[in-house]
Amino acid sequence: MAGEVGPPSRDKERDGPVVPLRNPGDAMSVETEQSIATMRMPAGLGGLLPALTLIGLFFVVPVLALLLRSVTDPAPGLQNYAALLGDGTYARVFFNTFLVAAVVTIVTVLVAFPVAWMLAIMPPSLASVMFGIIILSMWTNLLTRTYAWMVLLQRTGVINRALMATGIIDQPLPLINNLTGVTIGMVYIMLPFMILPLVGTLRAIDPMTLRAAALCGASPFQAFRRILLPLSLPGIAAGGLMVFVMSLGYFVTPALLGGTSNMMLAEMIAQLIQSLLNWGLGSAAAFILLIATMALYALQLRLVGARRATGGI
């Protein structure tokens, strides 16, 4: 694993296919690869200073303030954490948060894999166009996209009306205000974050290995299971963990497409802070979420190494 952090020249070989992720427009240009390799050269602490100051001032300090509040508001002690971990409702919200994140991650992997494979084997010019389309969806406002899903999924929405008009169903399907709605909305938003690292990994796989497998008599399924899947696991792990971690903290989509029984942690925190003004409890919940997220990230680093953990991004 230590070998992952190698000299730039090795990076170019290993991470070459990842470069298009940053800039699909000039996917294969050598300059881009080189400029990125240069950027990765250690630039000294001086160059890092503005970024570190920014993170220190606007992330570390508030997080410490959050931690402090969680153990001092309304009185010093761990009562906020005890309340969160000992109460059935909060436990349900925690469980729900992890459940939704897990379901979303699994579905995202299943949907993203074929897309990523197509992108990996497509001619680069066509792939750039496809990348453009995928990236474009990320540029559209999150709230707008979520409202669009509301219009599509609600009982009187486009999907239900079409299905009822064609006689396939006679009662509207419950597609919104439940786990189905949350999953659909979130998978859609998470897809690019899964596809991008996955394409990088898949491109690095030599297509000849598949041909060799076929020549040795492997069925397409065997070739997929024994060759393609194992080789693409780092990409799946990288994308999957990123999607999982991002899903844990999601707010807008579950709030709009889920029901009250699908409440996730972020919504609960907002409620505690905004309507109940229980900042101590809200801070404790936020801190637990942060710890869970960081633990997962640490796990990812251990499992797949720093470079691959971020999918090369």
Partner 1 sequence: MKLIFAGILAGLLATTAAKAEDMVFTSWGGTTQEAQTKSWAEPFSAASGIKVLQDGPTDYGKLKAMVDAGSVNWDVVDVEMDFAIKAAKDGLLEPIDFNAVPKADLDPRFTTDHAVGSFYYSFVLAWNKGTVSGEPAGWADMFDVKKYPGKRTFYKWSAPGVIEIALLADGVPADKLYPLDLDRAFKKLDTIKSDIVWWGGGAESQQLIASGEAAFGQLWNGRVFALEKDGADVGVSWNQNLTAADVLVVPKGAKNKDAAMKFLAAASSPTGQAKFAEASGYAPINTKAKAEMPADAVKALPDAHVDGQINLDMNYWAANRDAIAERWYAWQAK
Taking a C-beta distance cutoff of 8 angstroms, is the pair 267, 92 a contact?
no
Report the alpha-carbon distance of residue 29 to residue 16 in Å, rounded: 10
Binding mask 168-197 for partner 1 (x = CB under 8 A): ---------x--------------------
Report, in angstroms and rounded to the nearest whole number, the Rg of the chain calculated over CA atoms. 23
Report the alpha-carbon distance of residue 180 to residue 185 in Å, rounded: 9
Residue at 185: amino acid letter = G
Shortest distance in whole angstroms from residue 108 CB to partner 1 = 25
Shortest distance in whole angstroms from residue 2 CB to partner 1 = 37
The interface with partner 1 within residues 262-291 (CB under 8 A) comprises 263, 268, 270-271, 273-279
Q: Which lies closer to partner 1 via its Cβ, residue 64 or residue 306? A: 64
DSSP one-letter string for 151-171:
HHHSTTSHHHHHHHHTTS-SS
Q: Which lies closer to partner 1 via its Cβ, residue 162 or residue 294? A: 162
Q: Considering the rule CB under 8 A, would residue 93 count as an interface residue with partner 1?
A: yes
Q: Which lies closer to partner 1 via its Cβ, residue 32 or residue 278? A: 278
Other beta carbons within 10 angstroms of residue 147's beta carbon come to: 14
Binding mask 148-167 for partner 1 (x = CB under 8 A): ------xxx-----------
Which burial class, exposed, middle or buried, applies to 53 when counting CB atoms under 10 A from its CB (0-12, 13-18, 19+)?
Answer: exposed
Shortest distance in whole angstroms from residue 295 CB to partner 1 = 24
Interface region with partner 1, contact rule CB under 8 A, candidates 90-98, 196-204, 208-216, 229-237: 90-98
Instruction: Fill in the DSSP letter of residue 177.
Output: S
* Residue selected from 53, 72, 89, 222 as contacting partner 1 according to rule CB under 8 A: 89
Report the alpha-carbon distance of residue 85 to residue 284 in Å, rounded: 10
Binding mask 47-86 for partner 1 (x = CB under 8 A): ----------------------------------------
Report the alpha-carbon distance of residue 95 to residue 305 in Å, rounded: 28
Contacts 24+ apart (CB under 8 A), 301-307: 302/1, 303/237, 304/234, 304/237, 304/238, 305/1, 305/4, 305/5, 306/4, 306/5, 307/4, 307/5, 307/11, 307/14, 307/15
Q: Which lies closer to partner 1 via its Cβ, residue 34 or residue 261? A: 261
Other beta carbons within 10 angstroms of residue 206's beta carbon come to: 10
Q: Which lies closer to partner 1 via its Cβ, residue 101 or residue 205? A: 101
Q: Which lies closer to partner 1 via its Cβ, residue 192 or residue 254? A: 254
Shortest distance in whole angstroms from residue 255 CB to partner 1 = 8
Interface region with partner 1, contact rule CB under 8 A, candidates 32-40, 203-211, 254-262, 286-294: 254-262
* Number of amino acids touching partner 1 (CB under 8 A): 24
Q: Which residues bind partner 1 (CB under 8 A)?
A: 87-89, 92-93, 96, 154-156, 177, 259-261, 263, 268, 270-271, 273-279
